[in-house]
Amino acid sequence: MFISLYRVTLGNMGMMCCTFMVITGMQFGCFGVMFGCLHMLFGSLFMMFLLLNFTGLFFYQ
């Protein structure tokens, strides 16, 4: 169950990353695309960290 939820979350973040990169690319050009990549990369890392923390708390209680 957790793995399927994890996959759905990653898929949604991938879709958001693509849309965000396209929008920033249209607005800011090359620099906007690079910034969008970095932003989504750090955001997804932070989200994975939060997910791992929550699943760890859930399992170890």
User: Binning pLDDT at 50, 70 and 90, where does residue 44 land?
Assistant: confident
Count of beta carbons in the 10 Å neighbourhood of residue 45: 10
Q: What distance in Å separates the CA atoms of residue 55 and residue 2, rounded to the nearest whole number?
A: 8
The torsion of the CA quartet 57, 53, 6, 22, rounded to 10 degrees, works out to 150
Q: What is the mean pLDDT of residues 42-54?
A: 74
pTM of the model: 0.33
Confidence of residue 5 (pLDDT cuts 50, 70, 90): low
What tokens appear for 44 in the block?
């997804």
